[in-house]
């Protein structure tokens, strides 16, 4: 790991996620973590998509293993479209 000044220990990233999710003021978050408001906001823009405790379901187009048509799958293990599921 590169040890530059912008490094975010996992614990700080978790703290940021918790505080930002609760809607705590950015100036308070920045003081709690010991970074600037700008650094905290920039980090949050990244972690909220990848490290958030309860990530949103992101639908991805996948090909159905049964009929071969593409459909919106909410996770990688879902490989059969709704039409085929209900017909089984």
Using the contact rule CB under 5 A, the part of the chain among 19-27, 31-39, 45-53, 66-74 near Zn ion is 66-74
- Closer CB to Zn ion, residue 19 or residue 64? 64
Which of 67, 70, 74, 75 forms a contact with Zn ion (CB under 5 A)? 67
Does residue number 20 form part of the binding site for Zn ion (CB under 5 A)?
A: no
- How far apart are CB 65 and Zn ion at their closest, in Å? 8
| Residues 6+ away with beta carbon under 8 Å from 22 | none
């Amino acid at each position: 790991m590169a040890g530059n000044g912008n490094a975010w220990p996992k614990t700080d990233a978790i703290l940021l996620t918790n505080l930002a999710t609760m809607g705590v003021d950015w100036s308070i978050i920045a003081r709690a973590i010991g970074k600037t408001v700008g650094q905290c906001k920039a980090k949050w823009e990244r972690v909220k998509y990848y490290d958030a405790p309860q990530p949103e379901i992101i639908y991805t187009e996948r090909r159905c293993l049964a009929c071969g048509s593409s459909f919106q799958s909410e996770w990688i293990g879902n490989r059969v479209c709704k039409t085929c599921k209900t017909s089984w």
